[in-house]
Amino acid sequence: MQRKEKEKHRRRVHISRRNVLDLCITTAIVAVTTGASALLVKWTDSSANVTALYMLAALLVARTTEGYGWGILASVMGVFAVNYAFTDPFYKLNFTAAGYPVIFISLLLISIITSATTGSVKQQARRSRASEQRIRRLYEFSQQLANAHDTDSMIDLTLRYLHELLGCPVLYFQNENSLVNNQERVCGEISGFVSDSIERGAVEACFREKKAAGAGTLLAPYAMFHYIPLMSGETMLGCYGLLWKDNPIDEETMEHVRAILAQTGISLERQMLAEERNRAALAADREMIRSNLLRSISHDLRTPLTGIIGASAAIEESGDRIGAVETKKLAADIHEDAEWLLRMVENLLSVTRVSQVTNLKKSEEAAEEVIAEAVARCKKRYPDAQISVHLPEEMLFVPMDVTLIVQVLINLIENAIRYAGTPVEVSLRRQNGNAQFTVRDFGPGIPKEQRDTLFETTQVHADSRRGGLGIGLTLCRSIIAAHEGEISEINHLDGGAQFVFTLPMEENT
């Protein structure tokens, strides 16, 4: 409110200064015209052209001052000057001589009409410039709306724009529940008004009737705020409030405000539809993950469980006859199959984590430490594995869900160890604003017939008695996609498969 009072005081001071300036301009032009007329009469010994000079003076005043009044004042001053100084009897006001009333009234009307026409043209030009400026600002606002990434940023952008345009507090209600819960968004200094029953009634009327309510309307006219519905077609998306009580907004500005809100409504509806499509696509992805998971479970869990059952039954039924060496080998097979099942459970937990969230809770992590953790866990399971790590000189910080990215690296490294043997190379580098992770082995590579569906279905590996890459690669693709990254595989010309995935180093908002 203090800001608004200061703005009103500043406007009053500006108007007062402008009036003084216009008065000085009018007086100066009339005085100069009078002097020029006196010289002209002295030089030509005729006052025939004096009237034209004063008409020109009225035009100049109308052109250089604000409004109609100063041009009309100059016209009246000119008529009196002509009658007083340049018409017989000189230096006396006399409008009663034969023919004088008609002549001077005609001159006065011509001067007034000319001055008013000039002022009208100037005001039209001013309105045209203001209209052009509003159109340009509306275009710039539309560009900013197009660059907004979500509905919240669009709503806040409109709040700030209206606050800067009108110089008054502006607020937004998404629905009537946000009114009840005091969850309105505010731009500008304001507090406590929501508890006012009049304001509550105005907001409720705006939502109920889907039209403007509050100050300046017939719906709750005693409210302090003027509430405007944010519409998109027949759908009401929210309600904006403008503090109007002490400073009503002119109709031209209100037309601009309505255009802004109409543009906001269209953009909001488009963004909501896009978000709905994204949610539908995400639900489809989650369903695909579940389908792949069920297929993989039936394929990947059956073999190790059968091995465990067979080996344990052999030990139980024939342990005394098969000898200690064979018993130890069967126990090792049971242990290996149990570790396989443990990894499968870890992947299942990761799948559940990815499929149940819309947005991952990411934090900036040092990529080098993530690689170190994954390598350490793989070395614990495969102590004889040769795993080399190549890191850049700079420290790379990447927004990620660290648990899931560690699981991706573990899956890729363990696949390389199981199906290609060692050595395995893990490397990291920066590329085009992304962190690029690479896991390479030196085995036979991925068979050509498996590459097209490598990340989509269960793949059978010819040398693996457990028979499959499992859900690991499908999970890897889902995790990387949830991080807005990419994953791919290539076979090296000199042998071996290489899996590469990238993560954005700056989180998209």
How do beta strands 213-214 and 225-232 pair?
Answer: antiparallel
* 150, pLDDT greater than 80: yes
Least confidently predicted of 139-143, 181-185, 288-292: 288-292
**Position 162: which residue type?**
L
> What pLDDT shows up at residue 60?
82
**Cα–Cα distance, 382 to 332 (Å, whole number):** 14
Q: What is the pLDDT of residues 301-342, one digit of tens each?
A: 776 788 788 888 888 777 667 777 888 888 888 887 787 777
Cα separation of 494 and 488, whole Å? 18
CB 446 within 8 A of CB 491: yes
Name the pTM for this structure: 0.49
Q: Torsion-angle region of residue 333: left (phi > 0), alpha (psi -120 to 50) or beta?
A: alpha
All domains in the chain, ordered by first residue: 2-141 (no CATH), 148-275 (3.30.450.40), 301-356 (no CATH), 357-509 (3.30.565.10)
Radius of gyration of the chain (CA): 42
Q: What is the bridge-based pairing of β-strands 434-441 and 424-431?
A: antiparallel
Question: Which structure tokens are listed for 160?
Answer: 């700030």
Is the per-residue pLDDT at 1 higher than 50? no
pLDDT tops 80 at residue 9: no
**pLDDT in the model for residue 189:** 77
Q: With 90 as the cut, is the pLDDT of residue 371 above it?
A: yes
| pLDDT tens-place string over residues 195-233 | 577 888 888 889 889 999 988 888 888 888 889 999 887
